[in-house]
Amino acid sequence: MSTPFPFTAVVGQDDLRLALLLNAVSPAVGGVLVRGEKGTAKSTAVRALSALLPEVAVVPGCRFSCDPAAPDPSCPDGPHEAGNGATRPARMVELPVGASEDRLVGALDIERALAEGVKAFEPGLLADAHRGILYVDEVNLLHDHLVDLLLDAAAMGASYVEREGVSVRHASKFLLVGTMNPEEGELRPQLLDRFGLTVEVAASREPDQRVEVVRRRLAYDDDPAGFATRWADEEAAVRQRIVAARELLPSVRLGDGALRQIAATCAAFEVDGMRADIVMARTATALAAWAGRTEVLAEDVRQAALLALPHRRRRNPFDAPGLDEDKLDETLEEFSGSGDSGDSGNDDEPDPDGPGGGGGQPPSGPQDDGPQADGGSGAQPEAGDGGEPQASGAGSGEQAAARASEPFRTKVLSVPGLGDGAAGRRSRARTEHGRTTGARRPRGALTKLHLAATVQAAAPHQRARGRSGPGLVVRRDDLRQATREGREGNLVLFVVDASGSMAARQRMSAVKGAVLSLLLDAYQRRDKVGLVTFRGSAAEVALPPTSSVDAAAARLETLPTGGRTPLAAGLLRAHEVLRVERLRDPARRALVVVVTDGRATGGPEPVALAGRAARLFAAGGVASVVVDCESGPVRLGLAGQLAGELGGTAVTLDELRADSIAGLVKDVQRRAA
C-alpha cells in the first residue's frame, strides 16, 4: 500500500482541512464538497484524511463491515451474534466517474437466482464504504443514474439491489466527499444539497507559500516513507485530538440563543428546506468539540454558516457561490443575546485553540468570490440603450457588450432519431434505464432481465428438458436482456452572429437573453455546450465544447458586437468543431443552434458561400435550428432560407418561449426525417 501524503503537511487550505476534520469528528455533518481549480491539493487532502480516522471494529469475515456491538440483522452475510470483533483501518473508497451501476451497488447473479434459487451477491462500492469515506473525484461529471443511487443510499443509510423480484439489502452509511472543478460543469441541486459543507480552494498567490508547497511535494516524491515519518508526531497529535473531540461531542450544549442565530441566518439567506439549519447546528457543535468547549458560541455559528450555506444559496448555475459576510454579521448581531447567557453575540476573533495543522481556527470560510452580486447575467438592459447606429465596415464600429435580458423557459429542442449517447434529458436514446421497449439475447453479463421474453424462450423446451409438472426449467440460452429507451444529453453548439447587423444594443440584449435561456435549458438537460461567434472578417470558437454552461454564459456576457457578417466563416468553424468533437465522443449527437438574422456580408459572394457551408450540415445529417433575430416592419426572411439550406427549422425569438409555440420538436423531427 502506498504511503499517503500527510494531512498535516498540506500547506495552507485552512478551510478545506477544517471541513474535513469536522466531518471526522462528527460524520453526521454530512460530508464535504470541495470546489476549485486543478492542482490545489483537493484529492491529496481527502486521501490523507483517511489515515487520521480511528480504526473501525468489525465482525470478522463480514464483507459489509458490521459493527460487532450492534450487527445489522439483515446483513447478507449474517446473521451475526453480538460480541467481540476485529479492528481495521477506516477505508476510503473511491468511486470512478465511469463506474457501472453494478460496480456501485453490487451485482446479483440473476442466472443462479432463477435456476437455483440462490441469492449470490457480490458487494459493490457502497458496501465497501460503509462506516468509512466514499470519495468521488470529479463528482460533477458523474452519470445521473449513479447520482440517484448515491442520493438514495445517503438518505436511507442502506443500499437496495432489486432485480426481477429478487432483492438484497445492506447497511451503507458513509462520509461523502466530492471534489470538482467548476469549469467542467455544476452539480444537480439535489446532490449539491446532500453535501453538508462546501469549500472553495485556490492556489496561493504568495511566492513563499508556493515555494513551500513545491519543496514539500518534491521531498515526498523522493522518499514517501521518510517524509511521512518526519510528520508522524503531528499526525498522531491530530488523530488524538479527533478522538478527544468525538468523546466530548455528546456533552456539547447547543443553546437556544445559538439555535435562534442558526434559524435566523438560514432565513435571512433564503435557503431552501430545513437541511441547512440541521447541518449548521451539527457543524457548530462539532466546532465547539474540536475547540475543546462544551458550549456553542456565536463564532461557531458564524463559521458553520460560511461552510454550510454558500452552495445552498445558488438559485441557478450562473449564480456565484459565496455569502455576503456583512449581512451574515448583521444577522448574528441582531439575534445575539436573545437566548441563554452562553451566547455572547458575534465574535470575529478566531479561537486560539482552533483546528488546522497546529494553527488557529480560520476566522472565516471561502471568500474567493466575495459577496454575491445582484443582477448577474439576468439583468435588464439599461434604458436608452436601443437605437444605436449599426456598424458598416469590417472590423469597425465595435460596441461595448450588451447585457443579456431576463432569461425565460424555452421550448424543448431535440435531435431526431434514437441515439446511444451519455445519459441526459434531451433526446431519445437506447439506455440502461428507462421504459422497456423489447428484448434481446444478452451480450456479456445479464443486467436487466426481460422476464416475459425469457419465459417465452424457455417454454417450448420444457418437455425435452424433462419437465412435465408445474414449474419452469430455465437455461442460460433462454435468458433475454431487456432493451430500454430513455434520454441522452447532446452537444448543443451555439453559432451566434455578433456582427453589425445584430449590434443594436437593445436587440443584442434580447438575443443574449435567448441564448442564456437555452444555456439554462442545456444545464438542466445535462448537455455539453459550445459557443462559436462570427463578426468582422472571421469566426472564433469562444468556448470549446464543455459541460460548464456557466462558462458559456460568462463568455456570452462579454461578447462584443459590430462589423460585417461572415456567416459562411461561422458555419464552417462550427462544422470543424463538430468534426473534432465527433472524434473525441462519437456517441454524443449534436444540435446546432444558429442565432442570426440570416444576413451575410463581406467577401466575394457571401450569400452563396453561406449556402454551401449550410449544406454541409444537411449532408451530414446534423440537427439544426435557426433562431431568427430579424426585427422591424420589413423582414427579408433570410433566416428561414438558411434553415432550409441547413435542413432544419427556423423560429423567432418570441416563438422560442415555451408558452408561445406548440409542436416545435415535431417540426424539427419532421424536417430532418
Task: Tell me whether residue 636 is in a domain.
Answer: yes
Whether residues 499 and 645 fall in one domain: yes
Q: Which residue has the higher pLDDT, 558 or 387?
A: 558
Judged by DSSP in three states, 483 sits in: strand
**Position 364 confidence tier, pLDDT thresholds 50, 70, 90:** very low
Q: Which helix (H) or strand (E) holds 35?
A: strand 32-36
pLDDT at 260: 93
The CATH code of the domain that includes 122 is: 3.40.50.300
Would you say residue 98 has pLDDT above 80? no
pLDDT at 337: 65
Task: Tell me whether residue 78 is in a domain.
Answer: no
Q: Helix and strand tally (H, E) in the chain?
A: 21, 20
Active-site residue among 103, 163, 216, 275? 275
Task: Tell me whether residue 30 is in a domain.
Answer: yes
Whether residues 260 and 341 fall in one domain: yes
Task: Tell me whether residue 229 is in a domain.
Answer: no
Q: Which residue has the higher pLDDT, 135 or 379?
A: 135
Whether residues 104 and 15 fall in one domain: yes
pLDDT at 301: 93
Would you say residue 396 has pLDDT above 50? no
The three grid cell numbers given for residue 10, joined into one nine-digit string: 498540506
Whether residues 254 and 340 fall in one domain: yes
At 55-80, the pLDDT tens digits run: 888 998 898 889 888 888 888 888 88
Q: For the ranges 5-19, 155-169, 342-356, which has the lowest average pLDDT?
A: 342-356
Name the residue with cell 444559496.
Answer: 313
- CA–CA gap between residue 570 and residue 598 (Å, rounded): 12
At 543-593, the pLDDT tens digits run: 888 877 777 888 887 887 888 889 999 999 999 999 999 988 889 999 999
Whether residues 312 and 403 fall in one domain: no
Whether residues 36 and 51 fall in one domain: yes
The CATH code of the domain that includes 288 is: 1.10.8.80
Whether residues 172 and 30 fall in one domain: yes
Task: Tell me whether residue 564 is in a domain.
Answer: yes
At 183-241, the pLDDT tens digits run: 777 777 777 888 889 998 888 888 888 899 999 999 999 999 999 999 999 999 999 99
Whether residues 323 and 446 fall in one domain: no
**0.85 cut: is pTM over it?**
no
Domain that holds residue 361: 249-373
Task: Tell me whether residue 208 is in a domain.
Answer: no
Query: Cβ(581)–Cβ(614) under 8 Å?
Result: no
Whether residues 96 and 196 fall in one domain: yes
pLDDT at 363: 38
Name the residue with cell 502506498.
Answer: 2
Q: In sequence order, what are the residues at sequence separation of 6 or more whose Cβ sits closer than 8 angstroms to the Cβ of residue 105?
A: 124, 126, 149, 159, 161
Q: Is 467 a catalytic residue?
A: no
Q: Which helix (H) or strand (E) holds 516?
A: helix 505-524
Q: Which of 464, 486, 508 is the last residue of a domain?
A: 486
**Position 376 confidence tier, pLDDT thresholds 50, 70, 90:** very low
Query: Cβ(281)–Cβ(197) under 8 Å?
Result: no
Structural domain count of the chain: 4
**Position 112 confidence tier, pLDDT thresholds 50, 70, 90:** low
At 168-178, the pLDDT tens digits run: 888 998 888 98
pLDDT at 359: 39
Whether residues 591 and 450 fall in one domain: no
Task: Tell me whether residue 332 is in a domain.
Answer: yes
Query: Cβ(440)–Cβ(430) under 8 Å?
Result: no
The CATH code of the domain that includes 511 is: 3.40.50.410
Q: What phi and psi, each to the nearest 5 degrees, are found at residue 192?
A: -55, -40
The three grid cell numbers given for residue 648, joined into one nine-digit string: 432544419
Query: Cβ(421)–Cβ(587) under 8 Å?
Result: yes
Q: Which residue has the higher pLDDT, 408 or 663?
A: 408
Q: Mean pLDDT across the chain, nearest whole number?
A: 80
The three grid cell numbers given for residue 587, joined into one nine-digit string: 456517441
- CA–CA gap between residue 544 and residue 567 (Å, rounded): 19
pLDDT at 111: 65
- % of the chain beyond a pLDDT of 90: 26
- CA–CA gap between residue 459 and residue 376 (Å, rounded): 64
Q: Alpha carbon of 210 to those of 164, 206, 217, 368: distances in Å?
A: 56, 6, 11, 18
Task: Tell me whether residue 113 is in a domain.
Answer: yes
Peptide bond into 79 cis (omega under 30): yes
Would you say residue 625 has pLDDT above 90? yes
Q: Which of 170, 203, 236 is the last residue of a domain?
A: 203
Whether residues 478 and 578 fall in one domain: no
